[in-house]
């Protein structure tokens, strides 16, 4: 996950913001407690949403605590701890591991090669703890890497591999037993994966044109070097797809029995993702 799944913080109630921050800090604390301090650098608010959503299906209330942290050593912060938070923390580290592999192998970045050596023991622990999740993520990201190397010109095909990765992440999380919950979570993860992949591609257009890196939009819409008005030409289609994915996420969310923190989840889905969509597509079109 790439940092796009965030709340519209000004629209959160004070208590909701405190809980949301408590989940974010809880993921950070979970990583530090179980894997050391350095891996905490991979943290993003995407993990907080995953944890809040999965935990919302449980009947038990959150029991936050107040703790100090490295970033805020004087003032105590609200910390939430539960199984969903530990799972979200593991997901962040697994995705960070494969990002390091991609950076080391495809882009030859020296920092990534060094980090792989230091983080290998952590990934081995994660692989032993969550073998099914690691296997699914590895398979889907390998397929995505293959498509990118082939300069795939099918936006749907390229996005599918990342969508299947997100589908596995949401499906494998700790939720109450029952086919219905798992199936709905799979749908949310799948369409969120499609949305993330496309919004990231839009956000990176200029950078990828300059660097020559793969971007599915450049191949899908036949970008010509030096073409003016390319982003304006494609943005209507991009918006249509983005809003379609958001609609599917919203429809799936309505099928879940959310027992707590509903206001936070609805803020992220109905306001946060919409705000990101509008800001990024409007920026690129201009």
- What's the pTM value of the predicted model, to 2 decimals? 0.92
Choose among 32, 39, 130, 149: nearest CA to 92: 39
Delineate the domains of the chain, giving CATH numbers in brackets: 9-285 (1.10.600.10)
**Least confidently predicted of 48-57, 215-224, 242-251, 277-286:** 277-286
Q: Which two tokens stand for residue 224?
A: 């010509």
Identify the helix (H) or strand (E) that includes residue 66: strand 65-67
- Check pLDDT > 60 for residue 179: no
Choose among 223, 212, 234, 249: nearest CA to 281: 234
| pLDDT tens per residue across span 103-146 | 777 666 677 778 788 888 999 999 999 999 999 999 999 999 99
Q: Residue 226: exposed, middle, or buried by beta-carbon count in 10 A (0-12, 13-18, 19+)?
A: exposed
Choose among 72, 70, 5, 6: nearest CA to 40: 70
Choose among 199, 157, 209, 174: nearest CA to 1: 199
Q: Read off the pLDDT band of 177 (50, 70, 90).
A: low
Check if the beta carbon of residue 73 is closer than 8 Å to that of residue 282. no
Average pLDDT value for residue range 174-190: 82
């Amino acid at each position: 996950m790439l940092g796009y799944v965030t709340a519209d913080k000004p629209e959160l109630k004070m208590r909701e913001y405190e809980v949301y921050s408590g989940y974010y800090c809880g993921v950070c604390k979970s990583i530090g407690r179980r894997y050391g301090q350095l891996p905490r650098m991979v943290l993003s608010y995407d993990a907080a949403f995953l944890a809040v959503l999965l935990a919302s299906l449980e009947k038990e209330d959150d029991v936050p605590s107040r703790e100090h942290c490295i970033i805020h050593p004087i003032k105590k912060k609200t910390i939430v701890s539960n199984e969903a938070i530990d799972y979200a923390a593991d997901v962040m580290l697994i995705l960070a591991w494969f990002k390091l592999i991609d950076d080391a192998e495809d882009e030859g970045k020296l920092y990534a090669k060094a980090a792989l050596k230091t983080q290998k023991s952590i990934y081995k622990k994660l692989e032993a703890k969550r073998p099914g999740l690691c296997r699914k993520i590895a398979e889907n990201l390998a397929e995505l890497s293959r498509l990118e190397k082939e300069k795939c010109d099918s936006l749907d095909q390229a996005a599918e591999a990342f969508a299947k990765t997100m589908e596995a992440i949401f499906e494998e999380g700790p939720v109450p037993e029952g086919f219905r919950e798992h199936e709905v979570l799979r749908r949310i993860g799948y369409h969120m994966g499609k949305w993330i992949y496309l919004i990231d591609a839009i956000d990176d257009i200029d950078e990828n044109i300059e660097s020559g890196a793969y971007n599915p939009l450049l191949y899908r819409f036949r970008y010509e070097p030096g073409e003016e008005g390319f982003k304006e030409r494609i943005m209507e289609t991009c918006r249509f797809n983005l809003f379609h994915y958001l609609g599917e996420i919203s429809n799936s969310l309505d099928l879940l029995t959310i027992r707590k923190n509903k206001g936070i989840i609805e803020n992220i889905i109905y306001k946060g993702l919409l705000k990101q969509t509008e800001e990024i597509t409007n920026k690129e079109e201009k």
